[in-house]
Structure 1
Amino acid sequence: MDPRTSAQDVMRCDLCETAVVQMHCNTCLVNLCKACVGEHISTDESKDHKVVKFQARKSTPLHPGCKIHAENSCELHCKECDIPVCAACIVSKKHKEHDVHFLKDILARKKTAIQKEINELEESIYPTYLDIAADVQNTLSQLDVKYEELSIAITKHGEDWHREIDKLVKKLKSEVEEMKNKDNETLKTHLSNVETCTSKINEDVDSLRKSIDSYDVNKILNLQIDLKKYRILPSKLNVSTAQFSPLAIQEQISELFGKIIPTTISADKHGYTMRTAQGSLETSSCPLMEKASEAGSSPPIKQLLDEPETVTTINTGYRELYSVACQSDEEIWTSGNDGIKLFSISRGSLLQSLSTTSECILNNIAVTKRGDLVYANYFSKTVNIVKKQKTEVIRFKNWNPLTVCTTSSADILVVIEKGEDDTKVVRYSGATEKQTIQFDNKGKPLYSPRGLFKHITENRNLDICVADNGFHAIVVVNMTGKLRFRYTGHTLAQTNLLSPRGITTDSQSHILTADNESNCIHIIDQDGQFLRYIDCGLSEPWGLCIDTNDNLFVAEMQSNQVKKIRYKK
């Protein structure tokens, strides 16, 4: 039971701790029952115990006795010596000209300070620890889900291996059968040739014997024997039978199959922020779900500028510009209907262009933590990654990928659609599907149907945020896919329906989305509360991204410009 909120019990005797209080010793400030009064007095007979009824107890403090003047009580305090003193001590030479205060005043200040500490414990520290316990409990509950997903992924990968091994075994056995038939044919042809020669030799021997037995002299003299063709023996076929050379399973299979990257638990000293009386506990992204190299202290809190400012403008040369992604604090990737380009931020110069012939590259590029470019091709139904060259990572059969983002755990989140009605978010680890997010807890679609713009990003608290233009909303679910909230705009100030395009998040888990109709950027906190707009004279803002210093990059569709905006102090 919580002692701060539970009903208060009746007061018990300080001596026996069982009987109800009836008396009080004003000398010792002890609560007593009648039965314990005598025992209390006899315990210390040197004091003049003034025992009264509990209702008649004094509220005056019990001053300590003076160690030098035993007959006096100390009602004063010497600041220089930092000890209680009595009136006799003050007039002595030892405390002459010392700064002396009434002990009751010091007591009052001390009680006030203690009360403030009690208030902080009750209103701030205790609720914060409750929140931390809830956060740890939530992480514990997520562990079962994560490890179950891990086991399923390993099982599925094993099944994939079994299928591939079965196909490989079938292929190799087919090759063995073909080799056997070919070798049989070769040896049978060779045997046939040898047998033909053997038959001819027998015929020649018979002919010669008949000639010898003949008495025709001319016939014998004219007989010609050609043995050269028989003296040249046929080649011997040395057959080296095909062999199977298997790789050592114990040495190779673990490395080829895959490995488990173990969980890393690191202590982040700045992971939690103390709850205030009005606010709630803030946490950094869950370190249990991140690698050790990714875990770090929370960034310092930056205040939003009253007037955001455009720092840099980059002309990209697109006919229509749709997306921007930070390669680093010095370089940005862009995409539009003229392909994908890499620009220097400081110089505004083009550094690299990627050939994207016949590919749909609009609002769907992202950069992994390793600096690799990822993009989706709607028409070829693929998600691709670009390192030194393009590699196909995921291929869909009946679904088309709309947009992608990468996560803190190196997964890929893809918004995909099929037909006229089905839209969902799928989490992939490489080519392995790990999670599908499509419906809320009432079975209703979380996302609008086909043909409408959608963008996706992961927040620092591992929420998945989708800018859904069809629903005119930002749809935010937690890492397990449970709906947290929908943001549909700041209704008091907004005249048009929210028309979201690009979406990104900053170091303080703020969510930023480009409103294409109102030509501004909305900033909301991680719980969906509106904070402010960013205007800066924007024109049809579309793609968004944020660098490590919380600088915002906005891709304007028609002007074909990327604007770098500073919106925090």
Structure 2
Amino acid sequence: MSEPSDEQDDMQHYLVCGTEDCQKKGQFYCNACHQPLCEQCRDEHVKNPDTKFHEIVLYRHRKKQLPVEKCKLHPTRNVDIFCKECKIPLCSKCSTTEEHQGHKFDDLEEIYAEKYALEQGELSKIQKYFLPTTQSLKSYIKEEATQIRKIMESIRTSMKAEAKSLKNLVDEVTSENIENTHTMEKSLLEMLKSQETTYDDYIAYLGKMSDEFQQYLSLTNQKLLFSETLTIKTIPETTKPVLPVFTGGKFSKDDISKLLGRVNVPNTEPEKRKIQPMEAESTHMKSSEKQLEQSKEKSDVKKTLSLSSSVTKVREYSVPGIKSALHVSVDQSGRLWVGDNKGNLVQTDLQGNLLQKIQTSGRYEGYHTATQDGDLIYSDKDKRVIFRITPDRRITEFIKTGDWSPVSVHSSRINGDILVGMIKDREDKVTRYSKAGKEIQNIQRDNQGQELYEYPHYITENINGDICTSDCNKRAVVVVNKSGHHRFSYTGQGSLFLPYGICTDVLGHILVCDCYSNIVHLLDQDGGFLSVILSPQQGIKYPRGVYVDEENNLYVGQAVNTTLTVYKYLQ
């Protein structure tokens, strides 16, 4: 049976203080005595002259006690030191023998504790990195297997449709050819009938001539001498019909295959599955206790949050330097970034004072986003570049997007990845970049090979990793999971739906502006409609941009003015 991990030890209810008759929680540990201590016993341990120099640490940082092993030469003694020259464990009495005279020794318990820590670290890597990473890769394989089955079934359906189409064409051509033979037969028979009539007329003519000759021959010879000499018309010439000949089609199985199409696996190098580097996971595993406590606090807050029965206006900002408020970002300092349909991107403080203004190519898109590092990223679809603005107002090129024009951008709150909605000619896609700007994923088609997007002009990410895209041309909110597989598309509630600004909250809700009805829809994590959270009745006329900050405040920007309104809708 394997030894429980530190985390498991910490959770055991029997970890009580090792001091006799003390039943308090043993949250500390004496590495010299190898026993847990409560806070009070620890203090007494430190004050006691016999134990005041003992090393006392938090229980989870304790040194593991060396397993007891008796010396073979001195059975009453334990093996507890290590001879560095001989590379063997010994007891203290062995170290005094002539054989080890002058040798250097190490504390075997220290070596054991160090080795134990290393092995525990490796075990932790298996549990926290190698196993979950491998399981994640395995889950991708299952998803891809499902995708392959769907794609192959779609291909088979297409093949049958192609074959049916070709068969219909073959039947049509065969029917036309058969009809043509009937027409040709009729024409040839009519020609022969005409020739038959010609010979019938000639035979009748010959009969008439025969009668006339008989009449002449019956007269006296003298009469015959003076009569006109009769001449016989030549036999009419006719032509033989040119008989039709059927020439069979010259085709092979390969020709049919070309007509029907073939299924081929592209002759390209298979793309290696992306494995999260150990360094990144190691950094994640070394998160400080403070960060873990903050994460726990957020989790506890999430458990207590729920939708309010009503939406309450908290405050309003009048944003200078813009024509409208179509997209909103809030950076780590709480300062606002707002963009309009003229490409004006401004930053203001909490009092509404203009801090900086930048001219971009952005229009009716979610073209800027605040990052975890305190920067702001914005896309320039004309220059095909994504720029970064640092807190010291320095602007640098961050990502070049090649032939694709970036229209929308979002920085993940989960891992800092950058999600970009892009267009090119009649193609559209969503690309994922690492926080360092390295391209790691492209999402363009669903499991059936159909295009997912038509104009992904606003984009965000949900708490489960779903990528939620507002697509005005498709008139839908298109949602895929973190692997890029299509989950669902939300198309409104019956009337025309023109989605604009989109965001998510800590409960996994999706909030999206409807440009047609001028309302804000509230959806659950799976695309189920929950309610109209904002409408003209709440004082919002033309909502276009939405954003939920870390304090669960909902910011709403409008198309007709520069007012940014903040609401509370969670309690």
TM-score bracket for this pair, using the shorter chain length: 0.3 to 0.5
* TM-score, structure 1 as length reference: 0.47
* TM-score, structure 2 as length reference: 0.47
